[in-house]
Amino acid sequence: MITYWQIVRNGLLPLQTYIKGSVINVVSPTTEELNILKHTFKIDEDFLNDIMDVDERSRMEVEEGKLYLIYRVPYYNKDNGGLPYATMPLGVMLSEEALIVVGSQHNDVLAEVFSKNIKKQVDYENKIEFLFHIIDYSTITYLKFLKLINGETNLIEQALEKSTKNEELHKLLLMEKCLVYFNTSLRSNEILIAKLRNSKYFKKNEVDEELVEDVIIEIKQAIEMTHVYSDILSGMMDAFASVISNNLNIVMKKLTVITIALAIPTMVASFFGMNIHNFMEDSNIAFFGIVLAATALAAVGVIWMQRNKMT
């Protein structure tokens, strides 16, 4: 889907068609829309293909007076079979005619940037500052998702305390993979920001230094949070793998005690069936005596195992 936005003072207004100098937002483009970007707006085809590649790393390049930039942004994956949180490449093409933002699929970053609920004052007419505004929202989304990952990890931790299954460990593994993707993307984004800050596009525009510093501080904070959560999660997985194994050993120990306790009456009953036929004929209480003896022996066996801390 392609939407057009006119830059006005401290904001954006939706347009029906493209006008020179506007902002173009492209989300989940179809083949026809990609052809429009390629032929009408002269965007390099290889650049568009890179945006559609989910594994493309953050980078920037200048070609024919146009700034091409790929920045990795987080998104929530609604598909329950995959990673709940992942990252994707977001493409930006900056020229004098337009600022074009292309996302291969819907994500919270673009939804927030192009919403009407703008929380920060941004000079939208300064396209480099607007670009840093997008990067700022991306980092804020990283931090939000990191807190959600930490919250889900705590819930899984509570379930693991009583679990003997591998389902919770599998969930923790998914959370760890999310953090790995976040860490890789954030580090490549940090390098890209440093490169963008030293570019001629940044130097010839008066960008709000406070906004740039906020972006740098927040991305460093996101990297640090990702590193800390990843270390905690790795240690937790090792610890709870041992807990699950220990819980299973406790269950097996209890089953063994039950098996031994049941084996004693079985053994007595076997002896009774083979060897005391004549004794039973001579006494009406022989059967009850055997049952009582078997029960007493089983109780003695259980008490002995408890005193020796075998249960």
Residues 150 and 286 in one domain: no
Residues 131 and 268 in one domain: no
- Report pLDDT for 246: 74
- Report pLDDT for 203: 65
- Report pLDDT for 274: 53
pLDDT of residue 280 exceeding 60? no
Residues 237 and 257 in one domain: no
- Which residue reads 């937002």 in tokens? 25
Which residues span the domain enclosing 94?
Answer: 2-246
CB 142 within 8 A of CB 109: no
Each residue's pLDDT tens digit, 28-82: 888 888 888 888 888 888 888 888 888 888 888 887 778 888 899 888 887 656 7
- Tally of domains in the chain: 2
φ, ψ of residue 116 to 5 degrees: the values are -90, -5
| Mean pLDDT value across the chain | 78
Mean pLDDT of 79-98: 80
What CATH number does residue 62 fall under? Answer: 3.30.460.20
pTM exceeding 0.75: no
Burial of 192 (0-12, 13-18, 19+ CB in 10 A): buried
CB 236 within 8 A of CB 179: no
Cα separations in angstroms, 280 against 271, 274, 276, 284, 287: 12, 11, 6, 7, 7
Residues 55 and 195 in one domain: yes
Residues 137 and 239 in one domain: yes
Residues 104 and 180 in one domain: yes
Residues 156 and 281 in one domain: no
Residues 211 and 232 in one domain: yes
Residues 14 and 106 in one domain: yes
Of 246, 271, 286, the residue that ends a domain is 246
The overall longest dimension of the chain from CA atoms, in Å, is 114
Residues 81 and 125 in one domain: yes
Residue 181: alpha-carbon gap to chain centroid: 8
- Per-residue confidence band for 102, with pLDDT thresholds at 50, 70 and 90: confident
Residues 216 and 228 in one domain: yes
d(CA 177, CA 230): 9
Residues 214 and 257 in one domain: no
